[in-house]
């Protein structure tokens, strides 16, 4: 069952304006399906380099495959990097007459050259695991933009009974300006795959956002799909993006990093469990980042009064894969798991990333942590504004839960759009003048 993707508009606009449009993302994120929907064979010539015929032709006669005027789609381009060099030259020479749309799984060295050629911020487009809103068929996920713009509103739709008040009566019932236009929640999609309500949240986190896991996983469901995905990634993509001598330490290193999600990368803690050295663990995580299965989240580098921590954090890009590696098979398992907090952070980052991929200019996602342990899980940087997002697996917020966001908004009062605490409650709550608690069910 097909679902509309939030990046569709950006892809189409780029394919009209730019000689070269790049789609990059992890294997299985839906790039091929997106190309088939947007670029039908009658108007576009398509080369699928995961097929032997097109792959052989691309490797032996790349220049003959391309004329001076054509609309060409190249899928799985990382399989034939030798095709990328002539493609680059033609795109440079014939900017007005050719239109190339190239999709790659991960970020290869040759791809980096093409990305440099594409140059324009709107021409390099990530296609990432789906947000829960995409799975549910919900609109275009404008929550991030509304938070940045702080539009004044009527009270947003409530999701149920109010959560308990925090200590000291710190909850304010004023409706949050940024969420005025959210409107009523969308209906559930077919097959019970509706938006992640509070009851559905653990299931949404455990399934993740790979289309094959959430839309058509077949016998065995999403768990079987994720097992096969792990095997395919380990056997094929690791060789493409850097090579791993022994797959088992690599797998253990990924699992260790998934267990650390939300904290600073501690290579020394992962290394003994993986059975390799700390530098090898670092290389493994960098490989996962190149394959776009994981992401190294850099710290915010805008320094004010407080001294900042500079180490990166690591997350897997898909919460379902993270759950699989951590041994959490279902939403029911997750409900009672001590890992819920860090896996929920992985899921929230997945929602943020899916929406950021559709925006121009492309937002950056960082994190903020000071030497005195004030922290914000995610800081979205967009149009010279900062949006602070912290994740709390609780429905009873207390002042300590938004202390990091409050410190951030004070430190960056000239840049901070809003502070947001994503939590497990049932309604939007105003915590301070510019800080709001937003239910995880709405953050899709």
What is the structure's pLDDT at 180? 38
* CA atoms lying within 13 Å on the CB side of residue 124: 16
Q: What pLDDT is recorded for position 55? A: 73
pLDDT score at 69:
53
Q: Indicate left, alpha or beta for 192 from its phi (over 0: left) and psi (-120 to 50: alpha).
A: left
pLDDT recorded at residue 70:
76
Whole-number pLDDT of residue 213: 92
Instruction: Tell me what pLDDT residue 109 has.
Output: 59
Q: What are phi and psi of 270, to 5 degrees?
A: -75, -35
Report DSSP state, residue 363.
P
* Antiparallel, parallel or unpaired: β 45-48 and 20-25: unpaired
Q: In the block, which residue shows the tokens 């009209």?
A: 16
Task: Say whether 110 sits in a helix, a strand or coil.
Answer: helix
Which burial class, exposed, middle or buried, applies to 393 when counting CB atoms under 10 A from its CB (0-12, 13-18, 19+)?
Answer: middle
The domains of the chain, with CATH numbers, are: 8-126 (3.40.50.300), 132-442 (no CATH)
Q: pTM of the predicted model, to two decimals?
A: 0.86
Nearest to 306 by CA among 366, 372, 365: 372
* Ramachandran region, residue 384 (left: φ > 0; alpha: ψ -120 to 50; beta: rest): left
Residue 25, token pair as written in the block: 């993302």
Would you say how long the chain is, in residues?
Answer: 444
Helices (H), 19-67: 31-38, 52-60
Query: pLDDT digit of tens for each residue in the chain (444 aa)?
Result: 567 899 999 999 999 988 888 899 999 999 999 999 999 887 888 888 877 777 776 666 665 555 545 788 988 888 777 777 777 777 777 777 788 899 988 876 556 666 665 555 568 899 999 999 899 887 666 788 888 887 532 244 444 444 333 333 334 344 444 343 333 333 333 333 334 345 589 999 999 999 999 986 555 678 899 999 988 887 777 766 666 777 889 899 999 999 988 888 899 999 999 999 999 999 999 999 988 999 999 999 998 888 999 899 999 999 999 999 999 988 999 998 999 999 999 999 999 999 999 998 889 999 999 999 999 999 999 999 999 999 999 989 999 999 999 999 999 999 998 899 999 888 888 898 889 999 988 877
Q: What is the pLDDT of residue 1?
A: 59
* Distance of alpha carbon 90 from alpha carbon 100, whole angstroms: 10
C-alpha of 163 from chain center: 29
Question: Taking the CB of residue 319, how many other CB atoms lie within 10 A of it?
Answer: 30
- DSSP 8-state class, residue 140: -
């Amino acid at each position: 069952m097909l679902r509309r993707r939030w990046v569709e508009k950006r892809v189409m606009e780029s394919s009209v304006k730019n000689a070269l449009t790049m789609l990059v993302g992890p294997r299985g994120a839906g790039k091929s399906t997106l190309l088939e929907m947007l670029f039908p064979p009658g108007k576009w010539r398509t080369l699928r380099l995961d097929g032997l015929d097109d792959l052989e032709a691309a490797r032996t006669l790349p220049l003959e495959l391309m004329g001076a005027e054509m609309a060409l789609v190249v899928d799985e381009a990382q399989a034939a990097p030798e095709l990328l060099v002539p493609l680059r030259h033609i795109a440079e020479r014939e900017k007005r007459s050719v239109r190339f749309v190239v999709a790659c799984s991960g970020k290869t060295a040759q791809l980096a050259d093409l990305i440099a050629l594409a140059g324009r911020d709107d021409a390099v487009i990530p296609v990432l695991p789906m947000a829960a809103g995409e799975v549910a068929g919900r609109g275009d996920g404008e929550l991030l933009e509304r938070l940045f713009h702080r539009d004044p509103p009527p009270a947003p739709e409530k999701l149920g009974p109010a959560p308990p008040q925090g200590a000291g009566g710190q909850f304010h019932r004023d409706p949050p300006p940024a969420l005025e236009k959210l409107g009523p929640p969308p209906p559930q999609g077919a097959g019970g795959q509706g938006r992640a309500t509070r009851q559905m949240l653990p299931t949404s986190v455990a399934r993740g956002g790979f289309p094959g896991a959430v839309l058509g996983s077949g016998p065995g469901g999403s768990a079987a799909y994720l097992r096969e995905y792990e095997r395919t990634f380990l056997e094929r993509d690791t060789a493409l993006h850097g090579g791993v001598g022994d797959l088992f330490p690599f797998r253990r290193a990924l699992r260790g990093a998934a267990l650390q999600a939300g904290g600073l990368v501690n290579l020394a803690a992962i290394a003994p469990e993986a059975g390799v050295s700390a530098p090898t663990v670092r290389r493994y995580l960098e490989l996962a980042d190149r394959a776009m299965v994981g992401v190294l989240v850099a710290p915010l580098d805008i320094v004010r009064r407080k001294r900042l921590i500079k180490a990166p954090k690591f997350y897997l890009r898909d919460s379902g894969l993270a759950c699989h590696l951590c041994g959490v098979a279902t939403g029911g398992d997750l409900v009672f798991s001590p890992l819920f907090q860090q896996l929920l952070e992985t899921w929230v980052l997945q929602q943020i990333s899916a929406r950021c991929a559709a925006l121009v200019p492309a937002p950056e996602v960082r994190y903020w942590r000071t030497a005195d342990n004030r922290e914000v899980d995610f800081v979205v940087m967009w149009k010279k504004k900062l949006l602070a997002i912290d994740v709390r697996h609780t429905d009873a917020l207390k002042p300590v839960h938004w202390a990091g966001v409050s410190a951030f908004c004070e430190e960056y009062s000239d840049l901070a759009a809003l502070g947001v605490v994503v939590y497990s409650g049932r309604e939007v709550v105003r915590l301070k003048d510019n800080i709001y608690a937003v239910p995880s069910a709405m953050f899709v």
